[in-house]
Structure 1
């Protein structure tokens, strides 16, 4: 919590102003009961109307000063807290952007969303409370006690009797409630996970008529969160009645013993009323302090969750060597092995090959052979377990993520578009791309035909997730996004699967001239897509089963021949 609060240093002048304003407000609140006592004892009792007007006017001025200070303090404390929350969200987001997929898997997307939203909001609320109460509560408590004792020291013994009861109740409630706060946040993570899966997988859920089962799953997660939240609130709900009971008993005792003292001539009526006001302020200060003691531990749980993210060093973060252009476009795997965290077996073992500039390297294999895993290692989505991957002759682990990825044009297996125009989606690959570059990339990607048929052309809006375009159109726009980048290395991870054979053939023909000065790595299921490649790497169970041209592998590699025979007729093979 303290570590996170260091981010408030940039708001130090605002915070000092708030503390000063809260001090003024507290002093005004402490002064008002004394003025009220004077009005009663020196004005009302003796019938001095002029004195009542005089002190009454002063009370109005003091109250107005306190109100202005309170409103201004609320404004600036909110400004500091909201700015603090904005800064932490920005910091968390920027840090998470550097995470490898391995780091994402460790936290889970749903948990990262909760930490960036709900957890930061919890800390924000505590900052507002602290700015208002960290000065106010001690001043009201100490000042109230001093003023009460100055009015009647003997009557102050009532406070000594009742305060320990109130403090004990607060400590007991904290002991019961604080452990439940972490459980609430965990259950909120689980609910977000289920909700996110339902929203992103709605098509699959409906296709398999799983709406009822998913509804039950969501209700279960929702109920677990509800039950824990109710449990917390039951504990917290006891606090206010206990406080009110103690406060009211204290007031009754003060009136009882105060009446005896007034009857004995040891105390005036005005002083008794002022004493009651000071006791109420003391009790209120204790209530504020108890609220702080309850909210701070809850925020501390959230702060720890935020710090877990910020303290996690991205596994693939490095600020090292630049990828030189002397071996532009070269890609080399040197005895590379990789295992997913917690996996019993390696996903890839002893992978060694070279891909040269101007050549097309194709990767083919059965389902689960490790094709996508292999290409995901190149942009450092994951880091290798053993061995070395070199891009432009440099070990990618010795360079920053940004440097490595700046040399790569990546088209993922699942085409993803962002909400915005077609032009903005293609320009996502290169922010300063000109209109001509965008149109050229679309033309090479075989996307121009359907783009110009759309009403707004390149200005046509793509819905969230690209839901208003077909799978093939999404793939072609994703390819155009990579092409406009003009990188040293192109990676197409099964990026032609949604294209018909004619479009596939046209695209591969257009790519030849466009990528002649770069290395192209193609992952594909279809033999027709890889047949013209300069070298084909056949993967089987995470290992290389063969490397060569289509003709060489057809003659010498049983795994490749089985794949070919499963897709082509004898005439086509011949």
Structure 2
């Protein structure tokens, strides 16, 4: 993955920039929400408590000030949410386009390599396995590259940003966020430990489904001649059930 993504450093850098801006927008929303509660509601939209006391002593109507503050901060929240959405779409577009380019290049290289194989080498891999490698496997790599750019890069950015914001706002609560991030990474590590071996088994079973389908389609006239449709259907169903 790193080698493939390394061939598209410009796109990766652009996605990271977009994700940094997106994280800034998303982390700004809780701050703006707290301002609405702490200042807009609790202090009638006046940030300075001394000024607030003076307004109250002078009998100033605070409702227009409060509404103006709430509308301004609410507008900033909507702007941050819209900015986050636009940046997410842009990052998704660049990631998907880069993943598609990686898939295209990999298929081109794989096909050129397979065409150069001898008959013995093709038989060693089996045609079904080569079809799986050229279609399903490449698509998996393409999707993973896209996911790495969209999600894997974003997770540490958001985690670090959240820790920094909590430490700046209330350092006493920083350990809670650090502990939560550590627990999330621990869960991810455990999931990878148990799921990766099963993905390897799944690839073998996909090969089996392709092999059965290819044999059935190549020998379709023979299957019909000997009325073996039911047998072949059961064969394919068994391979599909194992994959499921």
TM-score tier, shorter chain, comes to 0.7 to 0.9
For 1:156 and 1:23, how far apart are their aligned partners in 2? Answer: 21
- CA deviation vs aligned residue, 1:256-312 (integer Å, no higher than 9, x gap): xxxxxxxxxxxxxxxxxxxxxxxxxxxxxxxxxxxxxxxxxxxxxxxxxxxxxxxxx
Alpha-carbon shift at residue 72 of structure 1 (Å)? 1.2
SS at match of 2:130: helix
> Going by fraction, where is strand more abundant, 1 or 2?
1
Alpha-carbon shift at residue 169 of structure 1 (Å)? 3.3
Q: Indicate the larger mover: 217-226 or 184-193.
A: 217-226
Alpha-carbon shift at residue 194 of structure 1 (Å)? 0.4
Q: Indicate the larger mover: 17-26 or 190-199.
A: 17-26
Q: Are 1:104 and 2:107 counterparts?
A: no
SS at match of 1:155: helix
Alpha-carbon shift at residue 104 of structure 1 (Å)? 0.6
**Alignment TM-score, normalising by the size of structure 2:** 0.83
For 2:217 and 2:81, how far apart are their aligned partners in 1? Answer: 53
When Rg is computed on C-alpha atoms for both structures, the one with the higher figure is 1
Q: Indicate the larger mover: 212-221 or 108-117.
A: 212-221
**Alignment TM-score, normalising by the size of structure 1:** 0.37
For 2:147 and 2:170, how far apart are their aligned partners in 1? Answer: 33
> Going by fraction, where is helix more abundant, 1 or 2?
2
Q: Select the residue among 133, 136, 140 that pairs with 1:122.
A: 140
Residue 207 of structure 2 corresponds to which residue in structure 1? 189
Q: Are 1:202 and 2:220 counterparts?
A: yes
For 1:145 and 1:134, how far apart are their aligned partners in 2? Answer: 17
SS at match of 1:16: helix
Mapping 1:288-367, distance limit 5 Å: none
Q: Select the residue among 180, 195, 208 that pairs with 1:177.
A: 195
Q: Are 1:28 and 2:46 counterparts?
A: no
Alpha-carbon shift at residue 45 of structure 1 (Å)? 1.0
Is contact 1:23–1:135 with CA below 8 Å preserved after alignment? no
RMSD: 2.0
Distance 1:130 1:97, change over 3 A: same
For 1:78 and 1:104, how far apart are their aligned partners in 2? Answer: 32
Q: Are 1:93 and 2:111 counterparts?
A: yes
Distance 1:172 1:12, change over 3 A: closer
Q: How many residues of Structure 1 are paired with residues of Structure 2 in the alignment?
A: 223
Residue 63 of structure 2 corresponds to which residue in structure 1? none
Alpha-carbon shift at residue 147 of structure 1 (Å)? 1.0
Is contact 1:85–1:124 with CA below 8 Å preserved after alignment? yes
Alpha-carbon shift at residue 190 of structure 1 (Å)? 0.6
